[in-house]
Structure 1
Amino acid sequence: MENLSINRIDIDEVDSTNNYIKNLISSGFSLPGFTLAVTQNQTAGRGMRGNSWKTQPGKNVIFSLLCHPDFLMANRQFLMSEIIALSICHACAEYVDDVSVKWPNDIYCGDEKVCGILIECDLNGKYVSNCILGCGVNVNQAEFESDIPHPTSLMLKSGKVIDREEVLASIIKHFCKYYIMAENGDWDAIDKEYFSSLYRRVGIHRFEDESGVFNATIERVEPSGHMLLRDEASLLRRYEFKEVKFVFD
């Protein structure tokens, strides 16, 4: 399989790997191709809903990957979310069972969260210029102090200590595969695999929006990233990020 040339930067401790890369860009550093910033300890991690994410040093896989998918129009930037989510999903599935992608891009083992992803894109006209994929995979952490619900780790799920570098290498291997597929225009295949990997894709489940709790099935996810739910009255509901959430029993 063809691989991408990725420049890796290792950092002992940083507030946020996404911020680290953004600071390099704003300082005028030339970062062509792919840049991978990896840290042993992130002190101010954050998620899509503004949740804090505290980690134990040296226990997890924490990184941000900068790429320049200038072949993607702005209205298709969700494809990068699908690519990194599938990459991490496959890597985690090498160690534990029942791994899925909770829309839009959390990685779950069963009903517990093993990875959070924060994606930040810059646009140049109608196209994506820079994309920073910030990821935190709980690998060997056993105790959690954060406001993120239902956390777990690969170690807790598998019952064994896992080599973090192996996990990262697997993520990057899968990322290269999907990114090359995207460059070659094979977007539909990525969309379909993303949908088939969704958490609670099958069956009726509880959701909550600004009007309250309701039961629905996941109908599909649009290329823009909007999720469509079919409720019990057979009405189709369309949601952007943060407009609806899963309800846990």
Structure 2
Amino acid sequence: MPSDIVKTPIGQPFVELSVTDSTNIYAMTHIQHNMATHGSVFFAHQQVAGKGQHGKTWVTEGGQNIILSTIIDPNPLILGQQFRLSVAVALACYDFFSRYAGEETRIKWPNDIYWRDRKAGGILIENQIRGQQWQWAVAGMGININQTAFDPTLINPVSLKQITGKTFDPVQLAQELCTDLTQRMHQLFNHPFSPLLEEYNGYLFKRNEIVQLKKLNTRFTCNILGVNENGELLVKDGPADRFVFGEVNWVNNEY
């Protein structure tokens, strides 16, 4: 049997920043200056230009939440397996959040963290690719911890404090999340992917439910069946039976 791939745990080092534009930008700068090491985490107490999916901004109140990015060496994954890393990071965030918020925690495709019909966190993974070589990944995570007042333009946000009534130490919880990430990375790099994908689908938001999606300007209803190993959303009774990320959007009537 080949020996396990053992990498530096996520969170070594754990660098705290009082304020930064974006932890993902900060981490990417390390990569660009050849200062990258697997497992480095950059935690911001305040982020003034946070990045979300599709070029959106991630708006958060200073000192109240988890805002961090970690540098990941994706080897032995290859370029066509980027969704696998997304699944592992999403599962780590699920592990962390559900430990406090309970079984109503879900993963919304592709990798948002939801509690009931409300968004608790988001993940943005950016990659350093040269030719056909996937050199580095930066996984950025924003999770609502103590914030109770949100930008009114946000759709149904929720925080751990709103769910539990308790106030938490964001740095301590971020370090817990690093432990969850370390465990999921070890699973990703040393074991078959199918059990990870099965877990991901088991926690999938709105699975086996009728939802409304939008493609371009056309809305349609369909039944969410799951997500395949390529990261495609599998549906029933829609205009197609699968969609790639970015091809459709959720209609935010309720979520």
The reply to whether TM is greater than 0.5 is: yes
2:169 corresponds in structure 1 to: 163
The structure with more strand, counted as a fraction of residues: 1
Q: Percent of aligned pairs with the same residue?
A: 28
2:45 maps to 40
Q: What letter is aligned with 2:70?
A: L
* Secondary structure at the counterpart of residue 13 of structure 1: coil
**Cross-structure match for 1:70:** 75
Q: Distance in 1 between matches of 2:242 and 2:94?
A: 25
Which stretch shifts more, 122-131 or 32-41? Answer: 122-131
Check whether the contact 1:52–1:147 (CA below 8 A) recurs between aligned residues: no
Which residue in the other structure is 1:205 paired with? 211
1:216 maps to which of 208, 222, 226: 222
Matched, 1:178 2:210: no
Structure 2 Cα separation of the partners of residues 205 and 14 of structure 1:
37
Structure 2 stretches of 5 or more lacking a match? 1-5
Report how far residue 146 of structure 1 moved: 6.5
Of residues 241, 244, 250, the one that matches 1:240 is 244
> What CA distance in whole angstroms lies between the structure 1 residues aligned with 2:63 and 2:90?
22
Q: State the TM-score, normalized to the length of structure 1.
A: 0.91
Report how far residue 16 of structure 1 moved.
0.2
Alignment match of 1:83 (pick from 82, 88, 91): 88
In structure 2, the residue matched to 1:31 is: 36
The correspondence of residues 41-120 of structure 1 with structure 2, limited to 5 A, is 41-97=46-102, 98-120=104-126
Q: For residue 205 of structure 1, give the secondary structure of its aligned residue in structure 2.
A: strand
Could you tell me whether the CA contact under 8 Å between 1:54 and 1:146 is conserved in 2? no
What root-mean-square deviation, in Å, do the aligned CA atoms of Structure 1 and Structure 2 show?
1.9
Q: 2:7·2:38 contact (CA, 8 Å) conserved in 1?
A: no
- Classify the secondary structure of the residue corresponding to 1:95: helix
Aligned residues: 245
Counterpart-to-counterpart distance in 1, 2:111 and 2:236: 21
The alpha-carbon deviation at position 29 of structure 1 amounts to 3.8
Contact 1:9 1:38 in 2 (8 A): yes
Q: How does 1:4-19 map to 2 (within 5 A)?
A: 4-5=8-9, 6-19=12-25
How high is the TM-score relative to the length of structure 2?
0.89
In structure 1, the gaps of 5 or more residues are none
CA contact (8 A) 2:68 2:142 kept: yes
